[in-house]
Amino acid sequence: MADDEPTRVVQQFLDAIKGGDGQTMMGLLAEDAVVVLPGSFKVAWAGRWQGREPIKQCFQAIGALLDIRDHTVNLMFGEGEHVMVLIDETSAAKNTGRLLHQETAWYFRIVDGAIVHWQAYEDTEQIAWVWDEG
């Protein structure tokens, strides 16, 4: 693995998110990848997702609820197979039109050119408020 391969893989993943390219996103995941999106039970995609099909369902839930308007990477750094990203994100809830602006931190682990682990650290209470009609 080249020294910069993990950051290149993560950059491809982030570009795919920004471009709404779910096929590329899924293609960058290892078959048994794990995605951890901790947070409020009010958030439809909060939890631990393992394997491509469950992760695809998670991504579909996010896409059904949020319109990502800006996804700016402020900082990306890596060491070995580990990559950390700091992101400013602006999204709108598709059902309420409320805007969400948050700073997030995402951790990735890359093995053999594929994402084997992605964990997001976000304000899920704010995310829940944006799309919750209750």
Domain ranges of the chain: 5-131
User: How far apart are alpha carbons 88 and 42 in whole angstroms?
Assistant: 22
- CATH architecture for residues 5-131: Roll (3.10)
**Number of separate helices (H) and strands (E) present in the chain:** 4, 6
Q: What is the pLDDT of residue 18?
A: 86
What percentage of the chain reaches a pLDDT higher than 70?
98
**5-9, 32-36, 46-50, 67-71: which range is least confident on average?**
67-71
pLDDT tens figures, 81-121: 999 999 999 999 998 999 999 999 999 999 999 999 999 99
